[in-house]
Amino acid sequence: MVTLTAPENLETTLDSFSVDLAGGTVRELNHALHDAADGQAWTVTNPEGKHSLAVGINADVSVTINGHAGYYAAGMHQKGEVTVTGNAGVGLAENIMSGKVHVHGDASQSAAATGHGGLVVIDGNAGARCGISMKGVDIVVGGNIGHMSAFMAQAGRLVVCGDAGDALGDSIYEARIYVKGTVASLGADCIEKPMESEHLEEVAGLLTAAGRADNPADFTRYGSARSLYHFSVHNSTSY
């Protein structure tokens, strides 16, 4: 299921706040966001690639980071929506639990790593190891993803509207991967699977949630061949 936050309705927004990081510190920003109340709208200006912006948010707030974020932006995200208008560095939305994180530009490697739930949308490209060890998060990437993406993925969905790099889904458990473009190579135990009607519906829902108009029929599904679940001596060369 797609975890969606309610569309932001500015008229019902109770409060709006702005934090300028040219003057304030990241710690002050994060403290303020941890004290925030549901319904608030926050804007962060001059992020200038600083690390750990808007991490650990546990209130239904909307946070807009105007510019480029550094490492671990919106990590451990629990509720609400974080939007980065520029690019994001390594480890975007790492360990996201629920809610939504949206990057308008590119994301560096390990985006949504170990994510348990929620939705991560990257309009541009994502680097290597996108969705590594994902445990239930949904990820929609508008562009390409790098190598070793969805490595040891356990649950959740990864939708890629561009191409995927080498070793996609290596040692995957049960996550579903949908790629519109080409796949440089599949990792161990990751195979192509047929697109049934439920998969088309699933992709359509995820694309809609991400605000995209791609045709679900253009995607190919990949998932686990389930041959490496349990150690067998016959598989020893596959590890």
CB-based burial, 88-116: b 16+ in 10 Å, e otherwise: bbbbbbbbbbbbbbbbbbbbbbbbbbbbb
How many CB atoms neighbour CB 55 within 10 A? 21
Residue 22 to residue 204: CA distance in whole angstroms: 41
Cβ distance to another protein smaller for residue 5 or 46: 46
Provide φ and ψ at 171, rounded to 5°: 55, 40
Distance in angstroms between the alpha carbons of the first and the last residue of the chain: 32
Residue 41 to residue 54: CA distance in whole angstroms: 13
**Least distance to another protein from the beta carbon of 7, Å?**
29
**Least distance to another protein from the beta carbon of 107, Å?**
9
Cβ distance to another protein smaller for residue 68 or 176: 68
**Least distance to another protein from the beta carbon of 10, Å?**
26
**Least distance to another protein from the beta carbon of 221, Å?**
26
Cβ distance to another protein smaller for residue 26 or 207: 26
**Least distance to another protein from the beta carbon of 195, Å?**
29
Cβ distance to another protein smaller for residue 69 or 101: 69
Which residues contribute to the site for another protein (CB under 8 A)? Answer: 48-51, 68, 70-71, 87, 89-90, 105-106, 108-109, 127-128, 146-148
| CA nearest neighbour of 207 among 93, 199, 45 | 199
Cβ distance to another protein smaller for residue 49 or 205: 49
Residue 187 to residue 42: CA distance in whole angstroms: 41
Neighbouring-strand partners of residue 121? 102, 140
For residue 123, the one-letter residue type is D
Cβ distance to another protein smaller for residue 99 or 146: 146
**Strands 190-193 vs 220-224: parallel, antiparallel or unpaired:** antiparallel
**Least distance to another protein from the beta carbon of 215, Å?**
28
Cβ distance to another protein smaller for residue 55 or 207: 55
**Least distance to another protein from the beta carbon of 132, Å?**
13
| CA nearest neighbour of 165 among 112, 122, 190, 128 | 128
- Expressed in percent and rounded to 5, the helix, strand and coil fractions of the chain are 15, 25, 60
